Amino acid sequence: MSLNSIQSTDIILTGDRTTGPLHLGHYVGSLRNRVILQEHCRQFLLLADAQALTDNMGNYLKVRDNVLQVALDYLAVGIDPAKSTIFIQSLVPELTELASYYLNLVTVARLERNPTIKDEIKQRGYERDIPAGFLTYPAAQAADITAFKATIVPVGEDQIPMIEQTNEIVRRFNASVSEPVLVEARAVVPEVGSRLPGIDGKAKMSKSLGNTITLGADADQIRQAVKMMYTDPNHLRVSDPGQVEGNVVFSYLDVFHPDTALVAELKDHYRRGGLGDTIIKQHLEDCLQSLLTPIRQRREAYARDPGAVLETLKQGTLRAREVAAGTLAEVKSAMGLNYY
């Protein structure tokens, strides 16, 4: 589904795990779209610290500190707290209560079949030693989505199974109480996906792989990252014809450079030979410096007053709790748990 199909009446739920500052992959996959969407829809942005703990138990301070780091990234790219509700997941207990009810609507076997969960279990090498919170996360995500009656959840393709499982839970709950209390959500995959390749040529930019460029990167860090970028290993001399496909520098130029005609000309020249990697990397560095410098400057300005940022999160969390409490009350009433 295209972002262009989203209506002003839609409610958007999106967010990020607080496991580290955000990077260019996040920017391409979601952040710049959230800035656009906040002008047209009601948008909730979740700082998923509770989710981060499903595989970070023991790293409490890291998860806590990164709540502020991710919030700074949101504000720096242009998320406006007056238009988007930014809130902290762990401070909305209604989500936990909803998730506890939803766990009765899904089996362990179904959770284990979820393709997203299966892939992440494999990546982490859990085998059968799976934290229960990690395995049951789809129910928690269903709570995050349904608490705000979100109709749209922008996700990467790898997260679509999570939305499908959310909708299964919605249908089972509504059928169990014989009324449409909860709302199904639609997954929206941005036209430019979130799988921006890492600077080392790996399939995905990832903090765990150390192949990212963070949104707060300074000029030297950007320069060094571009210098390290994977190009064409067979392009040994400037005169050699080069390969554009799989060349990370051109992948980034396609996404970030505003002059598509220039990028096309550079590609043709590179394929013919006579264009060195240093030149194309300089074009990319100039582009990224132009993009990230104002973001970094705004981020630094917000970081000088962390108390104000935390107050913004407090107010957003209070608004989020009010909405989630309303949904929880409807759910409990439908189940007959409204005793007085």
The pLDDT tens digits for 174-216 are 999 999 999 999 998 876 545 688 998 876 777 777 889 999 9
Give the count of alpha carbons within 13 A of 54, CB side only.
22
User: What share of the chain has pLDDT > 90, as a percent?
Assistant: 76
> What domains lie within the chain, and their CATH numbers?
3-196+306-334 (3.40.50.620), 216-301 (1.10.240.10)
Q: Residue 101 carries which side chain, given as an amino acid letter?
A: Y
Only one residue has tokens 């240093």, namely 278
Distances (CA, A) of 95 to 114, 140, 243: 21, 7, 49
Residues 6+ apart with CB under 8 A from 59: none
- CA–CA dist 74, 300 (Å, integer): 13
Q: Do residues 160 and 114 make contact, with C-beta atoms less than 8 angstroms apart?
A: no
High-pLDDT (> 70) share of the chain, %: 97
Nearest partner of 212 among 62, 55, 26, judged by Cα:
26
H or E segment and range at residue 306: helix 306-334
16 in Cβ contact with 26 (< 8 Å):
yes
How far apart CA 95 and CA 140 sit, in angstroms, is 7
- Give dist(CA 25, CA 27) in Å, integer: 5
pLDDT of residue 28: 86
Are 210 and 228 spatial neighbours (Cβ–Cβ below 8 Å)? Answer: no
pLDDT at 1: 46
Enumerate residues 6+ apart whose C-beta is below 8 A from 321: 87, 91, 92, 94
How far the first Cα of the chain sits from its last, in Å, is 44
pTM above 0.85, yes or no: yes
Strands, E assignment, the chain? 11-17, 42-48, 84-88, 152-154, 186-188
The single residue listed with the structure tokens 């580290």 is 20
> Distances from the Cα of 279 to the Cαs of 194, 267, 285, in angstroms?
27, 12, 10
CA-based Rg of the chain, rounded to a whole angstrom? 22
Q: For 221-277, what is each residue's pLDDT tens digit?
A: 999 999 999 999 999 999 999 999 999 999 999 999 999 999 999 999 999 999 999
For 325, counting Cβ atoms within 10 Å of its Cβ (0-12 exposed, 13-18 middle, 19+ buried), the class is: middle
